Structure 1
Amino acid sequence: MGTNRATASDSGVKQQDFTDVKIAFVVSLLAWPITYFVDNGITKVHEDKRTFILMAVGFFLLSGTILFVRGLSKRKSWMNHVFTVFAFTCMIDLIIGLELKGYIGGFMSVYLSIGEPYLSSPWGCAIVLFDGICIYVMYLTLIHLVSNSMSWRSVGIYWVSGLINSMIVLLFGVASGKHNPTFCTFLNVPYAVFPIIIAIRLFSKEKETNWSLERIRANGIVFDLAVAVGLVFSIWTVFAKGMLSIGSQFGIFQDLLNHERALLDVNPAPFAIIQSLVYLFYAAPILLISLVYNFRKRKPQFVWELALINGGTILQAQFSFIVTALDFQTPKELRSDPLDWIFWLNNLGLLIAPQLFIWSLYKSNVLTNNGGKQGNKNK
């Protein structure tokens, strides 16, 4: 027709490919028929052999899914394959969570009774729900970034911190709880090992070039003050939870306990206590560093990385705290009142403040027009 039409390739803009994301989504949906078949089929196996068979089936599914994904994906990135397999297991976690909440049945009941019975606790339910919702979305995001040669370092740090925190609390809880580890407990090994491998890879790579040491945009004094207040409040909250976890009887800490009795729940394992100790020894120092650098114009990149680590950790932890405190399975004397505004202030304040600090750093120090330069280096 003689009319020139501008295309994405003509303008130099690369079209984003969602093929691997679609593959991961479809593969994850296979978890529904597979879990139903395995859970109903395992009842035909002798009781003494069920946990071992479940473990063997679990590792077979992990290996088989990797091979299946390698055959479907055009890209030969081992990290993309791992993320896709983990997205598949996230869907299994979502199924577990829905079954524990009573929305579905017959998918993971046998596994929960003999494989990982500690997941039937309120904290265990919170962990699998977080994996099935938040971590699942992170995997799809990571798959999209890696497959399009975009920088995924920041998202990767955020994801890996939340997952490692979850594994620390779960595995230490199992080791100190009333349930003995079973063969199926070893199915958690890949989720403890691979995130560490990927974290080492992320931090050993060259720093991303989209970080500015000097502030390039002002957030406004009101926003900076709001973030500072939130960080101070968060430091107090994590310190109080940590002190309560080691048995402090100070009245100022006991006041918090009146609104969060679930901190005392040690059945079937002291998950909340372990999480509070992680807060005390890791989250509190990072929050303090964040507060120190909040008003400084010069911010080294490690401040951004620490903020991402704390943001992912606290998101996962606070989700677990809130779900556990309100869960119907939590004993009534330990359950929090859903209408208690102090409970919500404490927990949402702690949840939101680190995320606001991340947003503050992103707005003031991240060069958004340079965000994709490091994508290939982290592949």
Structure 2
Amino acid sequence: MRLLPFQVPVGIILLSLAAFPISYGVNSVLSLSDPTAIALTGVAVLLGMFATTYLQSQGKPPQDPLFYVFAVFAFTSMVDLIIWLEQDGYISGFMEFYMREGEPYLRTSYGIMICLWDGTTHYLLYLAMLGAIHQRKSYRSLGLYWLGSLMMSLIVFLPGNVIGKFGTEIRPSFLLNIPYVLLPVWAGMRIFREPRSIVYTPAEKAVDEHRKSLLQRPQDLVLFVYLLVTIAFTLFRGLVVLDCPSDSCFNYVYQYEPYLKDPVAYPKVQMLVYMFYALPLFCLCLYGLVQPGCTWMLDWTLVLAGALAQAQFSHVGASLHRRTPYTYRIPTDTWWLFLVSNALYALGPHLLAYRCLRSPGFFTSTAPAVQDNDKKQK
């Protein structure tokens, strides 16, 4: 099977789709009511998937150990897709026991949205990266985008579970999220160490790009202005969830985005993550658009794009979902402004990452090339 430019092993796809019969069988055969037993069942299933993946790939062992991680995560993505299908009423009888005594906070609108994102976007990314590893090709760009997306979901979802209204319903199955914290950190370290696969820029052209000011680069100027507006919007929404007493904050939360006051706490944590993590990165990107040779822009813009895509999809989707109480949904007379502003908030980082990858000359270092030219002239 082909996905993007990569050929994905059929066995891995079938293994991930096994989530449907496995979850249906467990839900039908076992009537689990003990939260500890449910957590142990989840651990047993994950270990079984890892062992099956390992045995299945022994004919042609992958050189990258992340192959096994992505294969198991692809299986759990299908589990999340099942949760979304069941919670939105498309299927039934698959994950009822787990939603009741395992992780009940997944029944919230935000929980449903992150399950949908994991079961679609993350699943496709896993298959693409598995195909790249199978063909021994680079998946660095996909990996950085996935890393930003997954880490953003974790740093919002896990604290939101604890401090929100479901904080008293934390069960042992909550510990099943630990691999999703540790393994992505390890995977990110490996991905960052991989060599970049970018468009080659001749040294002379890179030097010419470095000499151009921001006004001589119209695309970068537009991105610079976008980042300034994004920084202001990020700071403003952070102040809103921190209960800023100004009239503008009060009017915004009640007229445009009442979801920020939902007691589930996910939107509040999301805005604080934006303010304390995304905002500094936005400021660094401003610097990277002005100062030539910031090679880190080639990587971190991809991480930022993945993080904003996941965050905005989940936030906007939860704001409009029927599981959100009516008083916290977006008002019908301002929903278009809400959608446009949040869509632009997610689109900008993608345009910035695309600009860095397609024309990286301004962000590459030219020091070695300049030194070599000086030596030749001498």
* TM norm structure 1: 0.84
Is 2:225 the counterpart of 1:239?
no
Q: Which amino acid aligns with 2:246?
A: F
Partner SS, residue 296 of structure 2: helix
Q: Tell me the CA shift for residue 188 of structure 1.
A: 0.9
Q: Tell me the CA shift for residue 139 of structure 1.
A: 0.7
2: distance between equivalents of 1:98 and 1:229?
40
Is 2:260 the counterpart of 1:260?
no
1: distance between equivalents of 2:306 and 2:6?
27
The farther-off stretch of 238-247 and 253-262 is 253-262
The aligned runs of 1:25-44 (5 Å cut-off) are 25-43=13-31
Is 2:212 the counterpart of 1:228?
no
Is 2:52 the counterpart of 1:68?
yes
Q: 1:201 to 1:134 in 2, by over 3 A?
A: same
2: distance between equivalents of 1:169 and 1:105?
28
Identical residues among aligned pairs (%): 30
CA contact (8 A) 2:7 2:132 kept: no
Is 2:342 the counterpart of 1:347?
yes
Q: Which residue of 2 aligns with 1:250?
A: 246
Partner SS, residue 248 of structure 1: coil
Partner SS, residue 30 of structure 2: helix
Unaligned stretches of 5+ in structure 1?
1-15, 368-379
CA contact (8 A) 1:242 1:279 kept: yes
Q: 1:29 to 1:366 in 2, by over 3 A?
A: farther
CA contact (8 A) 1:215 1:364 kept: no
Is 2:307 the counterpart of 1:310?
no
1: distance between equivalents of 2:344 and 2:30?
45
Q: Tell me the CA shift for residue 177 of structure 1.
A: 2.5
CA contact (8 A) 1:172 1:274 kept: yes
Q: Which residue of 2 aligns with 1:326?
A: 320
Q: Which amino acid aligns with 1:187?
A: L
The farther-off stretch of 156-165 and 86-95 is 156-165
2: distance between equivalents of 1:109 and 1:32?
13
Q: Tell me the CA shift for residue 321 of structure 1.
A: 0.8
1: distance between equivalents of 2:338 and 2:165?
28
Q: 1:221 to 1:256 in 2, by over 3 A?
A: farther
Partner SS, residue 359 of structure 2: helix
2: distance between equivalents of 1:263 and 1:240?
12
Q: Which residue of 1 aligns with 2:180?
A: 191
Which whole-Å deviations, capped at 9, do the CAs of 1:199-233 have from their partners, x for residues lacking one? 12233x26536475938989995533443333233
1: distance between equivalents of 2:8 and 2:346?
34
C-alpha RMSD of matched pairs (Å): 2.4
2: distance between equivalents of 1:106 and 1:320?
25
2: distance between equivalents of 1:202 and 1:100?
34
CA contact (8 A) 1:29 1:91 kept: yes
The farther-off stretch of 147-156 and 223-232 is 223-232
The farther-off stretch of 157-166 and 352-361 is 157-166
Q: Which amino acid aligns with 2:344?
A: G
Q: Which residue of 2 aligns with 1:375?
A: none
CA contact (8 A) 1:326 1:337 kept: no
1: distance between equivalents of 2:7 and 2:311?
31
1: distance between equivalents of 2:72 and 2:351?
31
1: distance between equivalents of 2:361 and 2:312?
27
| Corresponding pairs, count | 343
2: distance between equivalents of 1:19 and 1:128?
23
Which whole-Å deviations, capped at 9, do the CAs of 1:249-271 have from their partners, x for residues lacking one? 2233344422111111113xx11
Given candidates 73, 90, 105, the residue that maps to 1:118 is 105
1: distance between equivalents of 2:15 and 2:194?
33
2: distance between equivalents of 1:17 and 1:354?
25
Q: Which residue of 2 aligns with 1:182?
A: 171
